[in-house]
Amino acid sequence: MKVVHTNQAPQAIGPYSQGIIVNNMFYSSGQIALTPEGEMVQGDIQAQTHQVFKNLQAVLEAAGASLETVVKTTVFLKDMNDFAAMNEVYGQYFRDHKPARSAVEVARLPKDALIEIEVVALVKQS
Ligand SMILES: C=C(N)C(=O)O
């Protein structure tokens, strides 16, 4: 088991790692729209979704993975009315390669974020 850490994504805001590699699989923690400096992006669901993907790309790269090797995502939305707007941005990052996904509405997210996404990805062979 290997802990993944990068300064290119926000630091954990609780007792967890940004991600963990087990064998050749990478499990990310949920990413919210914090900048690497720890500031919450002040914007709508689309602005927050872009920041979440920036963070996911950073932790995936640190793990030796990428969006292309993601096999499963989970999307947590504060408001399911944001589903279509989130999908618009989500589809810009997963165009041809579309991992399996679950999307759910939750009562509340850390830092009162509008969205959180976690991923499971295959780590590329070195
Ligand atoms: C933001 C998180 N992933 C957390 O608090 O667990």
Q: Which pLDDT score is estimated for 126?
A: 63
- Across residues 95-106, what is the average pLDDT? 98
pLDDT reading at 124 higher than 90: no
Q: Between 3.30.9.10, 3.40.50.880, 3.30.1330.40, 3.90.1150.10, what CATH number should domain 1-120 receive?
A: 3.30.1330.40
45-33-93 Cα angle (round to 5): 70
pLDDT in tens, 47-78: 999 999 999 999 999 999 999 999 999 999 99
Cβ–ligand 1 distance for 12 under 6 Å, the answer no
**Residue-level pLDDT at 125:** 75
15 lines ligand 1 (CB under 6 A): no
C-alpha span between 73 and 91 (Å, rounded): 13
Ligand 1 atom with the shortest distance to the CA of 30: 3
**Percent of the residues in the chain that have a pLDDT greater than 70, as a whole number:** 99
Instruction: Measure the CA–CA gap between 110 and 45, rounded to whole angstroms.
Output: 15
Q: Where are the domains of the chain?
A: 1-120
**CA–CA–CA angle 3, 33, 104 (5° rounding):** 90
